[in-house]
Structure 1
Amino acid sequence: MTVGEEAMGAVLNRLKRAQGQLAGVIAMIEAGRDCADVVTQLAAVSRALDRAGFKVVASGMRQCVETADGEQPPLSEAALEKLFLALA
């Protein structure tokens, strides 16, 4: 399974956002911030990572359902990603 260039850009953006959020969580812990605030930010990091993973899977699913003659499937990549997220 490969990830298309357009999907790769979206995945990288999400991962960079998660990286920034994680750096923020580390700084919060080092500063002794409230546990509830830290957990809230950790949950945001987790969601960002999940979304990046789902985007990779959705991109691969789209490639798998393309027809033999290269035509696009009836569902867009965004629609496939939404369906996958509904199952997760």
Structure 2
Amino acid sequence: MEKGKECCCYKTKQRSEEEYKSLIHRLNRIEGQIRGIKGMVEKDVYCTDILVQVAAANAALNGFSRELLANHIRTCVAEDIRQGKDETIDELVALLPKLMK
């Protein structure tokens, strides 16, 4: 789906150009890390060397999640609270355990 297009099946969010570029940049780096790990497996690289790269990819995904969550709280959650949409707090509280697995 194109950036900025609406869909009836889920909520959407307009992101600033800066936020969009930052998130896409992180995802591109993570995608490269995953391709690198796949290449290591294909080349029969030693297990511990692969595991170090997996740990780095996990850390990168966690960093992406932290940035996205912080942006979500600063924008979507804050705006909904200002508008009296308290269900957004329940949504956030339900999300947190999923992020902390």
User: So what's the TM-score if we normalise by structure 1?
Assistant: 0.67
SS in structure 2 at match of 1:65: helix
- The structure, 1 or 2, with the larger RCO (C-alpha pairs under 8 Å, 6+ apart) is 1
Q: Deviations over 1:45-74 (max 9, x none)?
A: 111111112111111111133695xxxxxx
Structure 1 residues 24-33 or 4-13, which shifts more? 4-13
Structure whose CA Rg is larger: 2
Which of 65, 74, 82 is equivalent to 2:78? 65
Partner in structure 2 of residue 42 of structure 1: 54
Identity across matched positions, percent: 29
Counterpart in the other structure of 2:67: 55
The TM-score normalised by the length of structure 2 is: 0.59
Q: Which runs of 4+ in 1 moved over 4 A?
A: none
Asked if 1:21 is matched to 2:57, the reply is: no
Q: CA RMSD in A?
A: 2.0
**Structure 1 unmatched runs, 5+:** 69-87
